[in-house]
Amino acid sequence: MALLPILEFPDPRLRTQAVAVDPAAVTAPAFQQLLDDMLETMYEAPGIGLAASQVDVHQRFMVIDVTEEKTRPLVFINPQITAREGEQVYQEGCLSVPGVFADVTRASRITVQAIGRDGQPFELDADGLLAVCIQHEMDHLIGKLFVDYLSPLKREMVRKKLVKAKRNAA
């Protein structure tokens, strides 16, 4: 098991479009190891989700666990939202944008189809925080960040804050 470094905004690599995972590769030991490393990295952060893009792996998969007990790890490979309804506002954070929280409006209920870590397709209906988190992680896979929902002025303030924090930490 290994902790993976998480890319931070405004790193341009976060803007990369991820490509589909070859379904035949899912059960390969190297891919299974990567999933375990991502789950370990997410739990250690701590976070409730992590997209492969955030650890500089530009393939369409992500891990999520929204339980308080951290007992329900979910793996979504090549996820697709097939239905969405309603609206909800949630104050989101992001491991790639540390220390910043902002309200984002997303669908309140979604249906997602994906491949699980066993290589089998599945479908899931989600609402509440799980629906928010799936949509947030799927945005990462197309190079989109939650700060993109902010005004350009607020996003620039966030960018300056993080660049300054990184400079001071060096």
Q: Is 94 in the site for Zn ion (CB under 5 A)?
A: yes
Nearest CB to Zn ion, comparing residues 94 and 132 = 94
- The site partner of 10 among ligand K1U, Zn ion, none (C-beta below 5 to 8 Å per kind) is none
Q: Is 47 in the site for ligand K1U (CB under 6 A)?
A: yes
The two three-digit tokens of residue 163, written as one number:
């660049």
- The site partner of 92 among ligand K1U, Zn ion, none (C-beta below 5 to 8 Å per kind) is ligand K1U
Q: How far is CA 90 from CA 12, 136, 169, in A?
A: 26, 11, 30
Q: Among this protein's residues, is 137 annotated catalytic?
A: yes
Q: Is 18 in the site for Zn ion (CB under 5 A)?
A: no
Which of these is catalytic: 92, 123, 137, 156?
A: 137
C-alpha to C-alpha distance for 139 and 164, rounded to whole angstroms: 26
Q: Is 63 in the site for Zn ion (CB under 5 A)?
A: no
Q: Is 65 in the site for ligand K1U (CB under 6 A)?
A: no
Query: Radius of gyration over alpha carbons of the chain, in Å?
Result: 16
CA diameter of the chain: 46
The two three-digit tokens of residue 2, written as one number:
């290994």
Give CA 113 to chain center in angstroms.
16
DSSP secondary structure string for all residues of 36-89? HHHHHHHHHTT-SEEEGGGGT--BSEEEE---TT----EEEEEEEEEEEE--EE
Nearest CB to ligand K1U, comparing residues 46 and 121 = 46
- The site partner of 14 among Zn ion, ligand K1U, none (C-beta below 5 to 8 Å per kind) is none
- The site partner of 47 among ligand K1U, Zn ion, none (C-beta below 5 to 8 Å per kind) is ligand K1U
| Residue ranges that bind Zn ion, judged by CB under 5 A | 94
| Active site members | 137
| Residue ranges that bind ligand K1U, judged by CB under 6 A | 46-51, 90, 92-96, 132-133, 136-137
